[in-house]
Chain A
Amino acid sequence: MSDSQIRPTSTSGRSRWAAWALIGGAVMLAGGALVLARAHAEEKKAPEAAGTSYRPEKPTDDQVARGAKVFFKECVWCHGPEGAGDGPGALRLWPRPRNFNAGTFKIRTTASGELPTDDDLFLTVTNGLPGSAMPSWEGVLTEQQRKDVVAFVKTKMVKDRNFQDKDEEFHVISFDGQVPSSAESIKRGQDVFLNKGKCVQCHGPEGRGNGNLTQKDDWGFPIFPADLHQCYNFRGNRRDPYNPRNIFREVSTGLNGTPMPSFADVLTVQDRWDVANFVISLCPKVKIDPITVKPTINFVLTSDFVNGALPTTADDPKWNTVEPHFVGLGGQITRKPQNFNRRIEEVWVKSLYNKDSIAFLLEWDDRNESHAEGPNLPPPVNVADLTIPVAYYANKMVFDEVKDQFKDLYPGEKYPEPVIYNDAVEIQFPAEWQKLVAPERPFFILGDPIKPVDLWKWQSDGSVVAYTGHGINGANGDPEIVPRKTVIKAEDAHFKNGRWYVILTRSLKTDDKENDVQFDVNKYIPISFQAWDGDNGEAGARMSLSAWYYVVLKPLTPTKAYVYPFIMIGIVVGLQWWVIRKTQSIHNGNGGRSGAKKK
């Protein structure tokens, strides 16, 4: 081949590159189009068009038969064989499972008092109702199965209404005119919340669901307004907790069966979007675990060093240097007395330390500030009996009305009078964590006889004690509280608008090495938390508690970390200089031994 053919000329070379660029670009476009097409195909089908034209599908007999099979395997246990929300599981659930018979459904896109659309019910089954025992059935039931069971429930379990009745109206709301979130929208929404919509009356001055605690649902069971700071617990969040569409929908349609009305006549569309944006702004922005629809839990919390004194108030700006840490609490059902219907589900923790002491700021939502009416003795073991219905402790104020209702539902059961105890919170550490070989720890429920725990307990009567936990005393079902001399300080413990704020402080080291946890910097120290809601019958071992976490006192950067790098830079520069000099002497002094160019 001649040179001119091998060596590309400028034009043919350019055209070759151009050809490749064109092919490459075409491939990328095709790929991009494919990706977009797939994304569109996977999009959920669009919701029903707004207006009154919607009519539900009439389920076929086949669908209803298939749905029955699903229902009697998966759903009957809570919802009951007649769909009356009285299955065996309903005994200990609050909120109770839905009673389908009246056709009353909470989460809909239809106007207040109307039946839901098929898609509303399908989405409820698919996404579940977070904050309740209704799980997401996606992944467990196929799409067809979920549609079938909806068909079955609509046809056989809704007894007082008929979806196909010509007189049933379906005014599907429109989501048009969404106002994007902004500081102005949130401010307007706050005004709606306080004044025009008067949401504070039920949801409380800070929206923590503590405005009205005497309400009942359509079936006469106690019901509380939602705590708007826990958007991941909203029934209708469709596993998308930060989406204002959910709030807009609830405010526009009301939640049938509950005291939550529709505000469509009172608030304009813009008002409702503004208040939706405001409500979403109340919820802490955290990473949500898609399966549990709860904040993802990091089991290591850190304590930051501060110069000077530790803060003694909850609003001290020093606390702003740390992010609040989410701690999840489950009900203690391992030992008696079992607490199936715990009220406190989470505690937010911040920690700071200085050269002497460590402080923990604990914040948690509690609708009612509780103080013990008598001596704060824990309930005897047999009070939290198998047979006590769960909503019993929901609200003392309506207890008398509810009591008679339960007598009919669960005849022959014992209903002792409700007792109010102190609200309380507790931090737990292994007493001698340094002696433990990881991952061994004391039993997380208040320790065990061989490996005791150091417990710091604060109660709403202002008392704070340090005591040692050896586990739950099986006979009495509660831990023995024998206060030790160690001083734990409780600072700024106060209840405000449905939230408790407590700071617990102690010195890093104490003299009692055997019983007091000793804090070292840069070590993983096991820590866990317990909480009591006094008007939920919680005291002693009847409590909410967390798993073992770790707390690490973050070490400061030592001075040598700033000095040694410069020493290293100096050494390396010296080495470089030496290498260059050596090379120069080899190659210039001996007249180009290795063939390097001279000039």
Chain B
Amino acid sequence: MFWQPGMMPIQLLMTLGVIFVLFVIGHTFIKKTFGKGIPMLGQGALVMLAAYITFKFVITPPIPYSLLVTYMGLVGLVTALYISATEAQWSETKKPIINTLLGVTPTYRGVRAVAFVAIPLFMGWQTYTSIAPPKEFPEPPELRTVHPAPPQAIKVHDKNFTLQTAKNPFRVDAKGEYLEVGKEQAFFDSNPWDPKAEGYLKYVREGGAVFFRNCHFCHGDNLDGRGIFAYAWRPIPANLADPGTIAQLQETFVFWRISKGGMNAPREINPWDSAMPPWEEHLATDDIWKVALFEYWHTGFFPRTWD
């Protein structure tokens, strides 16, 4: 329609203004054509309906419920003020209600009969649903922190690692020089199974072997957290290919999480639900560094660094 996502409040006011003008024109036309306009109560109801449709369906992206309530409240207030502005208008507004209550014509009597059967039945139904126990039992939402604060240092296989300063010993080129984060991009397109691969690329291959013997059962062949066990776990395994996981983290953070697993992680991740093994119980330290190297190579992400 004439509403585009991202339109500013001025455009909203203009949209409402256009609707208002159209309404006035339409009402005048109806008055001239049929001799009488829509009763005041009906006009008020139409305005509320038009406003609701605009707020709920025309405006994109959808506005939050609280905002919808605020806007409808404002429109309702203005409408109420208008239809009760003068004594004449107020009595015109009340007329259909009073006519219904008194049943002045057969039509009004019919409407009264229908309404006065529907309202008690509706109230009875509401009472029942509020007392009767629920039939549906939805899963309760459970919040957890995905990236808790890491400890300052950890001990893996009797060796201490200070997480802020430790470096991946396998992040080296063929000559054994440390590869600054970013430099490994040169190898992202290379073949780690090239028999002549040395340094970084060779360790990527060895890390891949570790990954596909241990990790892919949960984290998947695509590293997307959809391995063959993933459907059984809750929460599901981390999607390493998503930019919100290892791409946001330092390499030592990943080293910590792999070594210590979920059951030894801080309380805010809900460790009681985590199937993530403490891999220090199953793998050598070198294997853990290599598998971290492999994960970054495969996903094409760089670990976070201080600079």
Residue ranges of A at the interface with B (Cβ–Cβ < 8 Å): 6-8, 68-69, 72-74, 76-78, 81, 87-89, 91-92, 132-135, 137, 140, 289, 291-292, 294, 297-300, 302, 328-331, 333-336, 338, 340, 345, 386, 438-445, 448, 451, 474, 522, 524, 546-548, 550, 552, 554-558, 560-562, 564-566, 568-569, 572-573, 576, 579-580, 583-584, 587-588, 594-597, 599
A-facing residues in B256-302 (Cβ within 8 Å)? 261, 263, 270-273, 275-278, 281-282, 298
Query: Which of B10-18, B225-233, B244-252 interfaces with chain A?
Result: B225-233
Residue ranges of B at the interface with A (Cβ–Cβ < 8 Å): 32-33, 91, 94-95, 98-99, 101-102, 104, 116, 119-121, 123-128, 131-133, 137-140, 142, 144, 189, 191-193, 208-214, 216-218, 220-222, 224, 226-234, 261, 263, 270-273, 275-278, 281-282, 298
B126, B142, B193, B211: which contacts A76 (Cβ < 8 A)?
B193
Note all chain B residues with C-beta closer than 8 A to A584: 101-102
Contact B193 A78 (CB under 8 A): no
Contact B98 A583 (CB under 8 A): yes
The complex places the Cα of A91 from the Cα of B216 at a distance, in Å, of 12
B128, B230, B271, B273: which contacts A292 (Cβ < 8 A)?
B230
Contact A554 B133 (CB under 8 A): yes
The complex places the Cα of A333 from the Cα of B222 at a distance, in Å, of 20
The complex places the Cα of A340 from the Cα of B229 at a distance, in Å, of 9
Note all chain A residues with C-beta closer than 8 A to B127: 564-565, 568
A133, A594, A595: which contacts B216 (Cβ < 8 A)?
A133
B116, B217, B271, B282: which contacts A331 (Cβ < 8 A)?
B217
- Name the residue on A nearest B211 (C-beta): A77
A291, A328, A566: which contacts B232 (Cβ < 8 A)?
A328
Greatest chain A CB density within 10 A among B142, B208, B234, B276 is at B234
B104, B126, B133, B213: which contacts A89 (Cβ < 8 A)?
B213
Contact B133 A72 (CB under 8 A): no
Note all chain A residues with C-beta closer than 8 A to B234: 297, 299, 547-548
A91, A298, A302: which contacts B213 (Cβ < 8 A)?
A91
Between-chain CB contacts (< 8 Å), 10 pairs: A8-B33, A73-B191, A78-B221, A88-B212, A89-B212, A140-B222, A300-B138, A330-B229, A333-B275, A440-B272
Note all chain A residues with C-beta closer than 8 A to B210: 88
Q: Min CB distance, A340 to chain B, in Å?
A: 6
Note all chain B residues with C-beta closer than 8 A to A87: 212
The complex places the Cα of A78 from the Cα of B208 at a distance, in Å, of 10
Note all chain B residues with C-beta closer than 8 A to A548: 234, 272-273
The complex places the Cα of A576 from the Cα of B282 at a distance, in Å, of 75
* Beyond A77-B216, A333-B217, 10 extra complex contacts between A and B, CB < 8 Å: A72-B192, A72-B193, A328-B232, A333-B218, A440-B272, A564-B131, A568-B126, A572-B123, A572-B124, A594-B91
- Name the residue on A nearest B263 (C-beta): A443
The complex places the Cα of A302 from the Cα of B136 at a distance, in Å, of 9
Contact A596 B263 (CB under 8 A): no
The complex places the Cα of A331 from the Cα of B213 at a distance, in Å, of 14
Task: Say yes or no: A335-B281 contact (C-beta < 8 A), given A302-B137, A564-B131.
Answer: yes
Contact A291 B102 (CB under 8 A): no
Note all chain A residues with C-beta closer than 8 A to B91: 594-595
A6, A77, A445, A588: which contacts B212 (Cβ < 8 A)?
A77
Contact B120 A569 (CB under 8 A): yes
Task: Say yes or no: A557-B124 contact (C-beta < 8 A), given A298-B139, A336-B282.
Answer: no
Q: Min CB distance, A547 to chain B, in Å?
A: 4
Task: Say yes or no: A88-B209 contact (C-beta < 8 A), given A72-B193, A554-B133, A587-B98.
Answer: yes
Note all chain B residues with C-beta closer than 8 A to A68: 191
Task: Say yes or no: A580-B212 contact (C-beta < 8 A), given A292-B230, A552-B137, A572-B120.
Answer: no
The complex places the Cα of A579 from the Cα of B277 at a distance, in Å, of 70
